Chains A and B, each alone.
Chain A
C-alpha cells in the first residue's frame, strides 16, 4: 500500500511485469507449474510402485514353492502288504497300501508312540499322499519289493509351511495346523539330519492335485501349448490373408468398409462374450467336447484375430509402394507382387504383432472358463479333444483353494506364466529391433 500512497519515492515506474504483485503472481505460476509436474511424477510413481508391489509379493510368496521339505524314512517294502494277491504284477498292486508302508516306517522312527491319537499326529508329519511317490518309485524299479530302502518323502503341508515360514511356529498351538508334539517330533528328525529342503520337481512334472505337495503345472502347461497351437493355426493364416486382402486388393466400397469397422469393434468386445460364442456355437451347436484344447484354441483364435489383422495391415502399409511398382514393372501379376515381394518384407512386423497377440491369448482366462476348461485334470492332455486345463485357469483354480500351500503354488504358477509372457514379448521386441527397416 505504501507504493500507492507515495508513488514518487520509488526509483522507477512500476511495470506490470516486475512489480511485487507480478513477482508474487509469477511465483504462484511457477508453484503451479511445479505442482503439475509433481502430479505427473506421482502418477508414474504410483503405477511403477504397483508393479513393484505386485512382483515383490509374488516373488516373496512364490519362490518358496520351488522348494519342498522332505523327510528321510527307512521304508520296508513288504510284498504281502502291497501285493495281497501275490501276482508280482505292478498293475495289480494295492495303491492304498503304500501309504500304510510309509505310516509303518514313521511309527518305527518314533517307537514311543502307541496311542491311536498320537499315531494320527505322527502321520501328520508326512504328506497323506507320500505313498503315491513311493509307488512311482517302485513302478520304475520293482526289484525293490521286499527290501528296506531309505527314501526322501514329502512332508505334510503344515510342516512344509512351518519350515518355509508360511506359518509362524511361535503362534499359539490352536492357530496352527501342527501341534507342539508334532513340532517336537519334527525337530528331533531335523537334529538327526533326516530333513532336507529339495528342489520341487513335482511342480514341473505333475498335474493338478488336491494336495499341494503333489500338485504341479505340467498338465496345464501342455494344455496351454496345445491350445496355443490351435490358436496360432487359426489366427495367423486367416489374419494375414484378411490383412493382405483388405490392404492390397480390396476395392473401397461398402462391403470392405463394413469389414473394417467390424474388425475394429471386434477388438473391443469383452473376452467373456467370446466365451459365450464358443459355448453357444462350438459346444451346443456343433457338439464339440467341453474342456478340449481344440475348442479353447478356436475361441482364442477368434479373439486374437482382430489384433493380428490390425498389426499385419500396419506392417503391409509400411512397405513402400516402390517395391510393388518395381515388381509390377518386371511383369509380375498383382498377386505375385504381393506374395513374392511385399509379404516377405512385411513378415517381421506381422510376426511381432502375432507374438504380442499370442501373449495376450496365453493369459486369457474368462472365455476358457465358459467352455469348461476349468476341469480338474490330473494328467497331461494327450490330444486336442482330451479334457485339459491351461496355465491361467490353473492359477484361478489354485487361487480358490483354502490350503496355505496353494497360495505359494499360485504365486509360483504366476511367476512361471509371467516368465513365459516376458519371453514372448522379449522375442517380439528382439524381432522388431533386428528386422526393423527404415525405407
Chain B
C-alpha cells in the first residue's frame, strides 16, 4: 500500500465526511433547516476537516521519520560478524584498525560517514541494484537488505491501517456530535483560523530552520577548525586528502581571501550599478517625457527579470573576452576570469534593482519642495542635487545597502565568470574567488559527510547569511530613522 494511495483514500474519506455531515445535519434538523445553528455545509466541512487533518499530520510525520527509524532498526539488527565482514572489504586499513576493538557494540561503533556508506549499500541491494554494490560485501549485507525491504512493506501497511483507524475514529466521533444545537460554523472557523496562523508562522520556521541548520553544522566545523583561523586566516585551500598519507593533506581554512574577493567583486559591481542606477532613476522620474518613461521602465524590468545564469553566460561569452582583448590591445595581461568582468556584469544585473528602489524614494519627495526650489530660481539639476537628493538620501543609502547585500549573495554570475583560486589581492584584473563560488564548488560533486571541507560550506553560509541580514536590517533602520516626514 503506497503512500500516494493512502493519501488518495484519505481524501476520499474526507469527501465522504463532508457528505455524511451535511446529510446528518439535514436529518437532525427535522425538516426545518432553520432549526440548525449553522448552514448544513458547515457540518459537512467540520467532519471533512476532522477526518482529513489529523490523519494528514500523521502521514507527514511518518514520512519525515520513517527513513531514520528504519535505518536505525536495520542497523541495530546487524550482527557484529556481518559488520566486520562488510568493514573488512569497504574500509581503509587504518580505519578498520580503529573500528575492530569496539565492533562488538554493533553499528553504533561506526562513524557517521561509514554508517551512511553501509546504509547506501544496503539500500542499493534492497532496491535490486546489486550492480552498485561491491560484490565482496553482498553476502554480509543480504540479510540486512532483506530486513529493510520487509520493514518497508510492513511500514506502509501499518501507516495505512493507522490512517484509516484515525480517520474512521474522528468521523464516528464528529458524527455523533452533530445536532441542531451544535455550533458547526464557529468550530470550522476556529480550525481555519488556526490553519491561517500556522501558515503565517512558516516564514518564521524557515528562518529558524536556516539559522539552526547553519549554526549546528558550523559548530561541528569549528570543532575541527578554530573560529579565529577561519575568520582571520589568510590561506584558503579546502582540498583535504582522502588518505592520511597523501600529499597536501592539510586543508587550510582561512576565509579572508574569500571575503576580500567577494568585497572586490561587489565593489566593482556597485561602481557600475550605483551611478547608472541612480542617474537613470533621476532621469526617469524628473526629466523623461511620459513616452520615454513608458518605454524604458519595461526595459529595466526585463533586465531585472533575466535569470542570473544568463548573465553568467553573457559574462563568459561576451564581456570577459572583450575585457581581455581590450587589455591585450593596451598590452595589459588580464585574466579571462578577471574580477572586473564578473563585477561589471553583476553591476548590470543590479542596475534595475537600484533604479527601481531609487525611483520610489525620489517619487516620495513631495512636489512642494521642488516647487519651492524652482520659485527661488534654481535649475532642475540644482533642485535635484540640492533639494531632492538630501531629502531622499536615507532612502537612497538604504537602497544602496540592499544592492550591496544582493551583490554579496549573488552566486551564478561569479560561479561562471570568476575563478576558483583563492588569492589575496585587490587587483581587479586578477582572478579572485568569492564565498558563494566556494560554497558551490565544494558542494557540487562528490562530498564526504563529515569532513572539514564539506562542513566549511555551512560556516561560509552562516557568514553570508549574517552579513546580508545585517545589511538588510541596517538599511531598514536608516530608512525608518532618518526619513523626513512632510505631512
A residues adjacent to B (C-beta < 8 A) = 29-30, 32-33, 35-37, 39-44, 46-48, 50-51, 53-54, 57-58, 61, 237-239, 241-242, 244-246, 249-250, 258-259, 262-266, 268-274, 276-277, 279-281, 284-287, 302, 305-306, 309, 333, 335, 359-360, 362-366, 369-370, 372, 374, 392-393, 395-396, 399, 407, 410-411, 414, 417-418, 421-422, 425
Neighbouring B residues of A306 by C-beta, 8 Å: 203
Docked-complex contact B402 and A245, CB < 8 angstroms = no
B199 at the interface (CB under 8 A from A): yes
| Docked pose: A272 CA to B439 CA in angstroms | 9
Stretch at the interface among B51-59, B171-179, B282-290, B329-337: B282-290
Contacting residues of chain B (210-225) with chain A, CB-CB under 8 angstroms? 210, 213-214, 216-217
| B410 at interface by CB-CB < 8 Å | yes
Q: Is the interface of B mostly helix, strand, loop or mixed?
A: helix
Contacts of A246 in B (CB 8 A): 200
* B380 interface residue (CB < 8 Å to A): yes
Contact A262 B309, beta carbon cutoff 8 Å:
no
Q: Do A238 and B408 touch (CB < 8 A)?
A: no
Given known A-B contacts A242-B203, A259-B200, A265 and B472 have beta carbons under 8 A apart? yes
Residue B411 lies at the interface, judged by CB distance under 8 Å to chain A: yes
A305-B203 in contact given A40-B287, A249-B193, A271-B409 (Cβ < 8 Å): yes
Q: Is A392 within 8 A of B309, CB to CB? A: yes
Beyond A40-B279, A417-B310, whether A245 also contacts B381 by CB under 8 A is no
Q: Given the complex of chains A and B, what is the CA–CA distance between A218 and B81 in angstroms? A: 49
The smallest beta-carbon distance between B312 and chain A, in angstroms, is: 7
CA distance A58 to B200 in the complex (A): 42
Shortest CB–CB separation between residue A423 and chain B, in angstroms?
A: 12
Q: Are A286 and B67 in contact (CB under 8 A)?
A: yes
Q: Is the CB of A43 within 8 A of B310?
A: no
Answer whether residue B314 sits at the interface, using C-beta atoms and an 8 A cutoff.
yes
- Chain B residues near A259 (CB, 8 Å)? 200-201, 203-204
Contact in complex: B461, A262 (CB < 8 Å):
no
Output the least CB separation between B246 and chain A (Å).
26
What residue of chain B has the Cβ atom nearest to residue A47's Cβ?
B351
Question: Chain B: residues with CB nearer than 8 A to chain A?
Answer: 64, 67-68, 71, 185, 189, 192-193, 195-197, 199-204, 206-207, 209-210, 213-214, 216-217, 275-280, 282-284, 287, 296, 299-303, 305-314, 316-318, 348, 351-352, 355, 379-382, 384-385, 402, 405-406, 408-412, 415-416, 436, 439-440, 443-444, 449, 457-458, 461, 464-465, 468-469, 472-473, 476
Asked if A57 contacts B276 (CB within 8 A), the reply is no
Q: How far is the CB of B139 from chain A (nearest CB, A)?
A: 26
A272 to B214: give the CA distance in the assembly, Å. 12
The reply to whether B307 and A363 contact each other, CB–CB distance below 8 Å, is: yes
**A37 and B381 within 8 A (CB):** yes
Chain A: which residue is nearest B295 at the CB level? A48
Select which of A44, A264, A269 is within 8 A of B284 by beta carbon: A44
Distance in Å: Cβ of A152 to nearest Cβ of chain B: 31
Contacts of A270 in B (CB 8 A): 405, 408-411, 436, 464-465, 468
Report the separation of the CA atoms of residues A30 and B193 in the bound assembly, to the nearest whole angstrom.
Answer: 62
Rounded to whole angstroms, the CA-CA distance of A241 and B317 in the bound complex is 44
Nearest B residue to A280 via CB reads B213
B444:A374 contact, CB within 8 angstroms:
yes
CB pair A276 B68 closer than 8 Å = no
Question: 10 A-B contacts, Cβ less than 8 Å apart?
Answer: A40-B279, A40-B280, A47-B280, A266-B203, A266-B206, A272-B464, A281-B209, A365-B412, A399-B309, A399-B316
* B210 x A269 contact (CB < 8 A): yes
Contact yes or no, B415 A366, CB < 8 A: yes
B280 x A44 contact (CB < 8 A):
yes
The minimal Cβ–Cβ distance linking B427 to chain A, given in whole angstroms, is: 25
Cβ contacts under 8 Å, A53 to chain B: 318
Q: Which residues of B lie under 8 Å from residue A363 when comparing CB positions?
A: 305-310
Tell me if A47 and B348 are in contact (CB < 8 A): yes
Tell whether A242 pairs with B202 under 8 Å between CB atoms, given A50-B303, A272-B439.
Answer: yes
Say yes or no: B203 contacts A399, CB within 8 Å: no
Give which listed residue, A47, A266, A335, contacts B300 with CB less than 8 A: A47
Complex Cα–Cα for A273 and B468 (A): 11
Contacts A33-B380, A61-B317, A276-B457 hold; do A365 and B199 have CB atoms under 8 A apart? no
Interface centre among A244, A335, A407 (most CB of B within 10 A): A335
Of B214, B282, B416, the contact of A40 (CB 8 Å cutoff): B282
Residues in B neighbouring A269, C-beta threshold 8 A = 210, 409, 465, 468-469
- Residues from chain A with a CB closer than 8 A to the CB of B278 are 43
CA of A94 to CA of B301, assembled, Å: 53
User: Are B382 and A29 in contact (CB-based, < 8 A)?
Assistant: yes
The CA-CA distance from A279 to B465 in the complex, in Å, is: 15
Return chain A residues, CB-CB under 8 Å to B305. 359-360, 363, 421, 425
Complex: chain B residue closest to A421, CB-CB: B305
Q: B309 — which chain A residues lie within 8 A by C-beta?
A: 363, 365, 392-393, 395-396, 399
Q: List chain A residues, Cβ under 8 A from B287.
A: 37, 40
Q: A37-B380, A271-B411, A399-B312 are in contact. List 12 more A-B contacts (CB 8 A).
A: A39-B279, A40-B280, A47-B355, A54-B311, A272-B436, A276-B214, A363-B308, A365-B307, A365-B308, A369-B440, A369-B443, A414-B313
Q: Return the contact of A30 from the options B355, B379, B384 (Cβ within 8 A).
A: B379
Q: How far is the CB of B316 from chain A (nearest CB, A)?
A: 7
Chain B residues lying within 8 Å of A369, measured Cβ to Cβ, are: 440, 443-444
- Residue in B closest to A366 when the chains form the complex, CB atoms: B411
User: Do the beta carbons of A265 and B306 come within 8 Å of each other?
Assistant: no
Residue from B199, B275, B306, B464 having most chain A Cβ neighbours under 10 A: B199
CB distance from A422 to the nearest CB of B (A): 8
Q: Which residue of A lies closest to B307 (CB)?
A: A363
CB of B340 to closest CB in A, whole Å? 15
Of A246, A263, A277, A421, most buried by chain B (CB within 10 Å of CB) is A277
Known: A61-B317, A369-B440. A399 touches B348 (CB 8 A): no
Instruction: Report A-chain residues with C-beta under 8 Å of the C-beta of B301.
Output: 425
Contacts of B314 in A (CB 8 A): 54, 57-58
CA distance A197 to B415 in the complex (A): 36
Give the distance to chain B from A22, nearest Cβ to Cβ, in Å.
12
User: Which partner residue on chain A sits nearest B381 by CB separation?
Assistant: A36
Closest 3 CB pairs of A and B: A270-B409, A363-B307, A40-B283
Q: Which residues of B contact A333 (CB under 8 A)?
A: 185, 189
Interface centre among B207, B312, B402 (most CB of A within 10 A): B207
Chain A contacts for B443, CB-based, 8 A: 279, 369-370
CA distance A284 to B306 in the complex (A): 32
